[in-house]
Amino acid sequence: MKKLAILLTLILTGTLNAQETNLSQIEKEFNAAIDASRFKTHLQELTERPHVSGSKTNEVVQNYMSSIMKTAGFEVKAYPYDVFLPSTPGESFIEIVTPNRQTLTQQENVLKEDPFSSDELLWKGWNSFSGSGDVTAEVVYVNYGTREDFEKLKNLGISIEGKIAIARYGGNFRGYKAKFAETNGAAGLIIYSDPKDNGYTRGLAYPEGPYFNSSAIQRGSLLTVDFTGDPLTPYQPALPLDGKKKIKRLDPSEVGLHSIPVLPIAYGEAQKIMSKMQGDPVPLAWQGGLPFTYRLEGGSELKVRIKVDQPINFTRVANIVGTLKGSEFPDEWIILGCHFDAWGFGATDPNSGTAMLLSLSESLGKLAAKGYQPKRSIMIAHWDAEEHGVIGSSEWVEQLRDELQAKAVAYMNFDGGVSGKNFGASASPTLKHIITEASKSVDYPYTDQSLFEFWSKGENQPTIGNLGGGSDHIAFYMHVGVPSLSGGAGGPTAYHSNYDSFHYYSTFVDPEFQMGPTIEKL
């Protein structure tokens, strides 16, 4: 008998009402219930417009998810919170002041090949939780902006005191680039995606290929507090301000938010600054992919201005959680989740995962309607405000901490479930064996192999990482000790750029829309 897929292993094996049910029949019914076309439909609907957390279009996405899960037979509940975050980029500006004044572009080019790229709701590049300020200063290149990079500059006798640091994405979390720049006295920070890391040196650039073009900008949060979630309510839920239960909130001055202005730009715009720098050449390991020798300092004749005025206020966000109650053990919860807020359209990140979970809810609903009722409860959760600092899931875990410690059996995270064709997973020790065995029963698309065979690459076992930070499994695994896993199929992406659209997904990520249903089967 084939091994059951992971969800069936956790939920259905030996726990169905009909104890004599043949497990291979269950798997057959489950696979038959999967309608591959629904994944495509959901992805189209979810990514019709940009939907940043706190926006009206994000509310449209919430309503769509609620409707789909209710129709599938799930009990659906919204969990609202009032969290402290910037829901818009505010005002920002970047220019070369001397030797010749030149305003730099802060938004991706509109492409005739991509009809989504002209959407009026798309915003310029921004980093949420940037400090506000207006700075004109000399520039210093700081490589990836790691702690070691700043130490290297000190050893070379180069000070960034009062200057604007230029860092490339990669090497560490973007928020630490800002933190280390501040610690070392920088007046501002510019972050760009270097083509050596994601651009034309790695392959064809969009729209000819999947890599960043010269106008693509990676957005993202800079929040670097010592806990996940809302920055003003550590370890307690940011319940609505107008609700009955009042939560004590910190004053923003107590949190240690960033004080310097930070802006992300495209490598095409970074080139306009960096090609004018006149200092000593960088160490060999610091050289990126732009077609000139990188230099450490810009010199006194090159000055750049960056301005950020980013308001941070209380913003209403809401998680949407659907429950298919267990018939015998309703207080044992299997939780699957993915966030739904995005920096733009969010086709790969996160809504390929959202679409997969919506399709899964429909498949499980069909099984339940046929009498295959799970004894354990299945919860499918859609998290808000993940992009700003893993906020929605953290607040939910803080709100339900005691229940989760008593009832949660496992949490499975599918943030950006499909961004390519290379499967990977990280998991807590107790789930590593389960996902490995489950992968043996799933055929991998675009190949003649099982997922296990593709994933293990000829070895006896696939490589399964240990869980780290960066997505919605954090609070479950690290705060309340729920066994967790995070998985999906990766590849080159339009990560956090305005190009992460349905057009991008259908052209380069998964043209036949096979990967989403494959992850659903797993």
Residues identified as active-site:
386
Which residue matches tokens 């390519």? 420
The closest of 505, 507, 489 to 497, measured between CA atoms, is 505
Buried b / exposed e along 337-355 (16+ C-beta atoms within 10 A): bbbbbbbbbbbbbbbbbbb
The CA–CA distances, whole Å, from 475 to 78, 174, 223 equal 19, 20, 16
User: Based on the number of CB atoms within 10 Å of its own CB, is 31 exposed (0-12), middle (13-18) or buried (19 or more)?
Assistant: middle
Helix (H) or strand (E) holding 316: strand 313-324
Which residue matches tokens 């972050």? 191
Give the distance from CA 206 to its chain's centroid: 20
Asked if residue 419 lies in contact with residue 348, where contact means CB atoms within 8 angstroms, the answer is yes
Which residue matches tokens 């199929």? 489
Q: Pairing relation of β-strands 164-168 and 188-192?
A: parallel
C-alpha to C-alpha distance for 58 and 340, rounded to whole angstroms: 8
The closest of 436, 380, 377, 430 to 408, measured between CA atoms, is 377
Which residue matches tokens 């299945």? 378
CB proximity list for 226: less than 8 A, separation 6 or greater: 234
Q: Give the three-class secondary structure for 7.
A: helix
Asked if residue 306 lies in contact with residue 190, where contact means CB atoms within 8 angstroms, the answer is yes
- Both structure tokens of 121: 């709701």
- Give the full edge-to-edge strand order of the sheet including 422-427: 75-85, 313-324, 376-383, 329-339, 408-413, 484-490, 422-427
- Give the full edge-to-edge strand order of the sheet including 262-265: 139-141, 164-168, 188-192, 262-265
C-alpha to C-alpha distance for 195 and 274, rounded to whole angstroms: 14
Say what the alpha-carbon torsion angle 262, 267, 270, 275 is, to the nearest 10 degrees.
160
Which residue matches tokens 């800079």? 222
Ramachandran assignment for 53, one of left (phi > 0), alpha (psi -120 to 50 degrees), beta (any other): beta
Residue-wise DSSP of 117-144: GG-TT-----EETPBPEEEEE-EEE-TT
